[in-house]
Structure 1
Amino acid sequence: MKKRTYSCGLDAAVDVVGGKWKALILWALHHRPLRFGELRRSVSGISEKMLIQQLREMEAYGLVHREVYHQVPPKVEYSLTEFGHSLNTALIPLGEWGEKHMETIEALPRD
């Protein structure tokens, strides 16, 4: 990955969690590790291809740990790293703000 210089902390945080899916994946992994299928069912609307792509990016950022169990049938679990937990903790107030203002946000005009 290319090294990047940020103008502020918010710029850095948005770069790591940007996009529609990363915050939802973080939230789904908040309580316990999940297998790929469980994670896909937990994140409504995400395609398999997009979930794979997002998990790879999040693993590269150090947010998610991928544990492969060498057994039959093969088993892979995804969990949050300490870094991922810290980001999830930072997102909780944003989620609370969204809950509080959901009706207003839903009523906003869309393109």
Structure 2
Amino acid sequence: MYQKKIVQNYDCGLDLVGEVLYGKWKIRLLYFINEGHIRPSQLQRKIPGASRRVLNVQLNELEKHELISKVIFPVLPPKVEYSLTAFGRSLIPLIHSIGLWGDEHEEKLRGILTKN
């Protein structure tokens, strides 16, 4: 597994949140798991732009950070399901608020992002 070479300084809560949620798909994964999309194949269908490998890496990081839990059922073929922990559920109102802010400012944000 990848080991960071530079020691991180977590000077404030934003640094901590950024470290836990940094990753292109993590916020969407949390949102979709909260909506009931709990199987890896369901998540892959909801985020078709992400590779299976990247989703697995980010799901493993979310599990390591105790935001989601993973249940592996002892059947063939293997069945895996994800769910939010209580800690992960506490993020959902914040994610929802960020989404609403994005919806309110969608036109301006799209204009800014298409300039680059």
Q: TM-score range by the shorter chain?
A: 0.7 to 0.9
Q: Distance in 2 between matches of 1:82 and 1:44?
A: 27
Q: Match for residue 91 of structure 1?
A: 95
CA drift of 1:10 comes to 1.7
Instruction: Report the identity percentage.
Output: 37
What are the ranges of 5 or more consecutive residues in structure 2 without an aligned counterpart? none
Aligned match of 2:40 in 33, 36, 54? 36
User: 1:54 is matched with which residue?
Assistant: 58
Uncovered stretches (5+) of structure 1, i.e. residues with no partner: none
Superposed, 1:7-86 pairs within 5 Å as 7-32=11-36, 34-86=38-90
Deviation, structure 1 residue 88: 2.0
Aligned Cα root-mean-square deviation (Å)? 2.0
SS in 2 for 1:29: helix
Closer, same or farther in 2 for the Cα pair 1:14/1:47, shift >3 Å?
A: same
Give me the whole-angstrom Cα distance separating, in 2, the residues matched to 1:106 and 1:77: 35
Shift of 1:4: 5.3
Q: Partner of 2:34: helix, strand, or coil?
A: coil
Instruction: Please tell me whether the aligned partners of residues 23 and 58 of structure 2 are also in contact (alpha carbons under 8 angstroms).
Output: no
Given residue 88 of structure 1, which amino acid in structure 2 is its aligned partner? I
In the alignment, structure 1 residue 105 sits paired with structure 2 residue 97: no
Contact 2:25 2:58 in 1 (8 A): yes
Counterpart-to-counterpart distance in 2, 1:24 and 1:110: 25
* Partner Cα distance (1:101, 1:110) in 2: 16
Aligned residues: 111
Q: TM-score, normalised by structure 2?
A: 0.84
